[in-house]
Amino acid sequence: MKKFTAGLLGLCSISLAVSQGVMANSHNDTDKVISTKDNGIKVTTLAQGLEHPWGMAFLPNGDMLVTERSGGIRRLSQSGELSDRLANVPEVVANNQGGILDITIDPDFSENNTVYFCYSKPSDEGKPGSSSSVAKATLIDNALENVEVIFSASPVIDNGFHFGCRLVFDAEKSLYVTLGDRYKYMKEAQNTDNHFGTIVRINRDGGVPDSNPFTDGDAPEVFSFGHRNVQGVTVHPDTGAVWAMEHGPKGGDEINLIKNGANYGWPEITYGIDYSGDIISDKTHMEGMEQPWLYWDPSIAPSGLVFYTGDMFKEWQGDILVGSLKFTHLRRIDVVDGKPTEQHEYLRDNGARIRDVEVDEAGAIYLLTDAPNGKVLKLTK
């Protein structure tokens, strides 16, 4: 089994690419680092008819909660029955990329039945606009009870882009929430007095951990900054470190090891350019700013991020799985001695935008396809 070690993690700021088995001193490039290996993988459709499914979370009994970006949360039973939308889901601003996005369960769910979800919450003042917000609620059968908003990104913005909204708990039961730069406000990602382009860390009640780096500022929840639009976040199963993946502009999608108080550079440094072809920054390195562990140019539009664990695909243990929206495949990044090496594609022939990736205790892989008739897929041997 390939393992990360604490010593190796610090050496991974420069990514390596493998093309046809040859090591290169550059970051991975989608038209060079591809192999398609669907042989031996069984794909089962567990559910369909979901409206742009976005996030999923396993329950202890084997059921799954699945969000629909348009405003719903549904329950998928072990037997494959898909519920109607859960009752008491709050109002959302389902505009472009906004809506009900990620979902996770409390580390003590078996005792408290508590779930957390991130969504585009309308302005409390009744004005146009929304903010990426996190609510907690008690799950009782197919309903949410005691719904409480514990965090809302500030300020409220009237557009439908770059919400972030991925969720993960660490071993200390702190909740990490990813937040985008809301597209037109990219320069604010360097300002730690608001929530644009940040990853925040909060307690389960929405309080701020004492060890957060900017507790004296106007946005004490901020844990790291300089992000563009983080669409994947996970905790390494061995080290407990938080890893995140974000969309670049045209090029420059990144995977990063997230550190307390670190600046990941956006938009002062980037490996991408604007969609128009204009230069955002002519710099890829700057003192005091982190380098990505890996980046893609051209972009693959990644979404969903998980380290593979389990015995079903033993040769994948310790590797990274991500979905590609742009190139409609599941991608595996082979990790050797804490570094990215060869990359592989799976399911590209399905032509489905992969929005989220999860792995169950047995090692089966679950995917969400982002479409008006979205599906839950299960990958097994």
Pairing between β-strand 294-296 and β-strand 253-258 as defined by DSSP bridges: antiparallel
Q: What is the 3-state secondary structure (H, E, C) of the chain?
A: CCCCCHHHHCCCCCCCEEECCEEECCCCCCCCCCCECCCCCEEEEEEEEECCEEEEEECCCCCEEEEECCCEEEEECCCCCECCCCECCCCCCCCCCCCEEEEEECCCHHHHCEEEEEEEEECCCCCCCEEEEEEEEEEECCEEEEEEEEEECCCCECCCCCCCCCEEECCCCCEEEECCCCCCCHHHHHCCCCCCCEEEEECCCCCCCCCCCCCCCCCCCEEEECCCCEEEEEECCCCCCEEEEECCCECCEEEEEECCCCECCCCCCCCCECCCCCCCCCCCCCCCCCCCCEEECCCCCEEEEEECCCCCCHHHCCCEEEEECCCCEEEEEEEECCEEEEEEEECHHHCCCEEEEEECCCCCEEEEECCCCEEEEEEEC
Tens digits of pLDDT across the chain (381 residues): 333 333 333 323 223 332 222 222 334 444 444 444 576 899 999 999 999 999 999 999 999 999 999 999 999 998 889 999 999 999 999 999 999 999 999 999 999 999 999 999 999 877 899 999 999 999 999 999 999 999 999 999 999 999 999 999 999 999 999 999 999 999 999 999 999 999 999 999 999 999 999 999 999 999 999 999 999 999 999 999 999 999 999 999 999 999 999 999 999 999 999 999 999 999 999 999 999 999 999 999 999 999 999 999 999 999 999 999 999 999 999 999 999 999 999 998 889 999 999 999 999 999 999 999 999 999 999
Q: Give ∠ CA 280-248-152 in degrees, rounded to 5.
A: 105
For the beta carbon of residue 221, count every other beta carbon within 10 angstroms: 24
pLDDT at 10: 31
* Active-site residue, from 27, 52, 162, 195: 162
pTM summary value: 0.91
pLDDT at 31: 40
C-alpha to C-alpha distance for 95 and 160, rounded to whole angstroms: 5
Please give the backbone phi and psi of residue 149, each rounded to the nearest 5 degrees, phi first.
-80, 120
Q: Which two tokens stand for residue 317?
A: 């243990």
pLDDT at 29: 44
pLDDT at 3: 37
C-alpha to C-alpha distance for 347 and 333, rounded to whole angstroms: 15
CA 6 to chain centre: 23
pLDDT at 33: 43
Question: What's the N-to-C CA distance of the chain in angstroms?
Answer: 18
Answer yes or no: 344 catalytic. no
Cβ 142 vs Cβ 115: under 8 Å: no
Pairing between β-strand 175-178 and β-strand 198-202 as defined by DSSP bridges: antiparallel
C-alpha to C-alpha distance for 147 and 361, rounded to whole angstroms: 29
Cβ 210 vs Cβ 220: under 8 Å: no
- Dihedral of alpha carbons 211, 217, 222, 225, sign: negative
pLDDT at 353: 97
22: β partners: 19
Structural domains in the chain plus CATH codes: 6-274+283-380 (2.120.10.30)
Q: Which two tokens stand for residue 245?
A: 């993946």
pLDDT at 349: 87
C-alpha to C-alpha distance for 120 and 17, rounded to whole angstroms: 37
pLDDT at 6: 32
C-alpha to C-alpha distance for 183 and 15, rounded to whole angstroms: 27
64: β partners: 58, 76
pLDDT at 32: 40
